[in-house]
Homo-oligomer: A and B are copies of this chain.
């Protein structure tokens, strides 16, 4: 048997007061729809069996989906309820399949719940299986109504609940598994004959029951799977929940946190044991951190691979690779394309960009190394600059092993410094420096005596 999924993603960000469509609002740096589609993928449903109903900000969502995979999209031009949304994607429903319907703005649904619910759905021979959760504070969610024998008899929206029904804590997650035939039969029977004038997907349950079908529930253990965001405060709450879940997972794996303040870790980041994360540290994207590292305070890492035993104190690193036992910081930026080999030391106020820095090389302070290939055991003095840009093109600088770059040296690329070569402090180097040699660009120093007397700086000051 095969499966397909219909994801409802047409909502706008009006209550968010955002120009973004709602499903593009982010939790831990990823749009909510990514969380949902990852859950669908984890449940084993291939992207091309997933139909996304779009509406508000359709182009934005479509462009985003195109980057993720081969999704089908269906345009809902009018906003006429969840049932109406599913109708737009009716051609997804193929005989004999099971159809998953879920919301693109409830990010905590996951593959495990979807799969287990599907098993229950198939095993029970249900025509529809509603995923439910038990919430101590059921708030605005639709309540699950059960018959005398505990069987599902309907779903009542909060605003239609009696006082007794309001006390029900089992609620509708908005996620359903349908038999294709049951959904196909029920959709045309939905009516918009209600106060809101909308077609409600929840009404399919009653329709299925009335036509003699079988409706059941699957109760998720973790109530968080139902949580969605209608406004910025909701979204903040989702971010905080997600943050703590990610941190708990890393704690379980032996990562050390002495505080969780200001820490935001993307859900796909990997961290080795005995690594310590200090406050204010943000780890994003496709990032892997080794063991025994010290990150932070205030370190920001995006799409980097960090080795073992690395210290990054107040470093920002983007799309870079940092090998073992590197120490960097405080106040360092590693821009995309940086590779720091084992044992490299980067001191304060240093930027490295699109450069490879060899084993044990030291760049101690106030230096910019860009578009460079630097050997091992090189020592950069303070204030060195690789001048890689002439206003038109960018060029590379090559520095041999064990070279010694004097303070405030300018290396005007393209240029090559030989092995063991030295550049004198304050020199601007425009031509190759042979191995073992010293290059010095400097004038005679003149001393003008009694200058202070004439200039009278101190008296005037």
Contacts and interface: CB of A to CB of B under 8 A. Distances in A.
Interface stretch (A36-44, A76-84, A181-189, A383-391): A383-391
Interface of A: 16-20, 25-26, 28-29, 231-233, 235-236, 239-240, 243, 248, 251-264, 273-274, 278-280, 282, 292, 297-298, 300, 313-314, 316, 330-331, 333, 347-349, 351, 365-368, 379, 381-383, 385, 387, 389-392, 402, 404, 406-408, 410, 412, 420-422, 424-431, 433-453, 455-458, 460-461
Contact of A441 (B254, B407, B445): B445
Contacts of A253: 17
A8 B406 CA distance: 55
A445 B440 contact: yes
A318 to B, nearest CB: 10
A287 to B, nearest CB: 16
A410 B425 contact: yes
Contacts of A232: 251-252, 254-257
B406 A383 contact: no
A243 to B, nearest CB: 7
A460 to B, nearest CB: 5
Given A279-B262, A349-B351, A18 B273 contact: yes
A274 to B, nearest CB: 5
5 contacts: A17-B253, A262-B279, A425-B428, A433-B447, A437-B452
A1 to B, nearest CB: 40
A442 B461 contact: no
A316 B18 CA distance: 27
A165 to B, nearest CB: 29
A255 B333 CA distance: 28
B385 A254 contact: no
A390 B461 CA distance: 10
A436 B410 contact: no
Contact of A422 (B231, B239, B438, B455): B455
A395 to B, nearest CB: 13
Contacts of A440: 445-446, 448
A282 B297 contact: yes
Given A262-B279, A391-B404, 8 more contacts: A16-B254, A18-B254, A300-B330, A368-B382, A392-B460, A426-B427, A436-B451, A443-B443
A264 B458 CA distance: 43
> Which of A424, A450, A452: most chain B CB closer than 10 A?
A452
Given A258-B264, A262-B262, A368-B366, A351 B348 contact: yes
Contacts of A18: 254, 256, 273-274
A413 B300 CA distance: 36
Contact of A458 (B292, B351, B420): B420
B422 A407 contact: no
B452 A422 contact: yes
